[in-house]
């Protein structure tokens, strides 16, 4: 009987020790949260990014990756078309320097990774470009995760010898593991004249990495109203027309062949 009691004490003691070590390990792990969105103003665009903060724990987050899920009723209605594998605006637009968006045309939903402004080395991809989707988050520090750039666009075309404005729209250039310039994940077109029946473009982001206490997540939405598009994050709404009020129009004009 005494032997059985001793075995019981050993098991209980081991369990208590395991629980104590688990709790200590859990509390030492990093607690990471999404802060406010960052809105950066440029001459022709507005950049939307997330401030990701280390707010607790004794360990840094290593090899951190931001995963994006982009979804709506039918994403293919808003992505720029492709012709023979090339973006439909490739002949007039130079935002990607010829390294066009990665998503296949017709995608109804999309998943991928996002770039950090201070990435660590993670290899190379297309055209030997460095990947920018992995970073470390130091204890008490913060890092910036890039989501997309916004433009207001005027698209022109020729009618005979006369240059005519054909269309106005907002362009959403969603970033990828290659950063904010080359090979965007996808480019979305939001018409200004006739607003589509858009319940919401949903951008859902989760952060993964080593030493995380739990997986943080955030969601940003773009919703069409009768007069504008709203960018919604938590309790705040931003009108796209107001965000881009001071930016110059991006004018896309076809080259005229001279014979």
Element (H, E) at 112: strand 109-114
* Alpha-carbon distances of 130 from 90, 137, 207, rounded to whole Å: 23, 20, 20
Please check the confidence at residue 8 and state whether its pLDDT lies above 80. no
Mean pLDDT across the stretch 164-186? Answer: 95
pTM for this entry:
0.87
Q: Could you report the per-residue pLDDT of 69-87, keeping only the tens digit for each?
A: 998 877 878 888 888 778 8
What is the structure's pLDDT at 1? 59
End-to-end Cα separation, the chain, in angstroms = 105
Average pLDDT over residues 112-116: 97
């Amino acid at each position: 009987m005494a032997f059985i009691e001793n075995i019981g004490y050993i098991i209980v003691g081991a369990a208590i020790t395991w629980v104590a070590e688990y709790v200590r390990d859990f509390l030492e792990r990093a607690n990471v949260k999404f802060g406010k969105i960052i809105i950066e103003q440029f001459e022709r665009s507005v950049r939307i990014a997330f401030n990701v903060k280390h707010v607790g724990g004794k360990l840094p987050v290593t090899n951190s990756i931001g995963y994006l899920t982009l979804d709506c009723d039918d994403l293919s209605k808003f992505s720029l078309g492709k012709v023979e594998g090339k973006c439909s605006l490739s002949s007039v637009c130079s935002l990607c320097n010829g390294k066009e968006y990665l998503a296949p045309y017709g995608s109804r939903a999309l998943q991928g990774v996002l770039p950090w402004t201070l990435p660590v080395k993670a290899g190379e991809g297309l055209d030997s470009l460095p990947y920018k989707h992995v970073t470390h988050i130091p204890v008490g520090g913060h890092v910036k995760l890039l989501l997309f750039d916004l433009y207001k666009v005027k698209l022109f075309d020729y009618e005979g010898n006369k240059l005519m404005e054909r269309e106005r729209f907002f362009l959403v250039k969603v970033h990828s593991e290659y950063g904010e310039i080359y090979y965007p994940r996808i480019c979305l077109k939001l018409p200004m004249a006739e607003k589509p029946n858009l319940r919401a473009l949903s951008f859902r982001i989760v952060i993964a990495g080593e030493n995380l206490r739990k997986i943080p997540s955030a969601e940003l939405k773009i919703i069409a109203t009768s007069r504008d598009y709203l960018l919604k994050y938590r309790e705040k709404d931003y009108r796209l027309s107001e965000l881009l009020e001071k930016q110059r129009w991006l004018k896309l004009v076809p080259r005229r062949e001279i014979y």
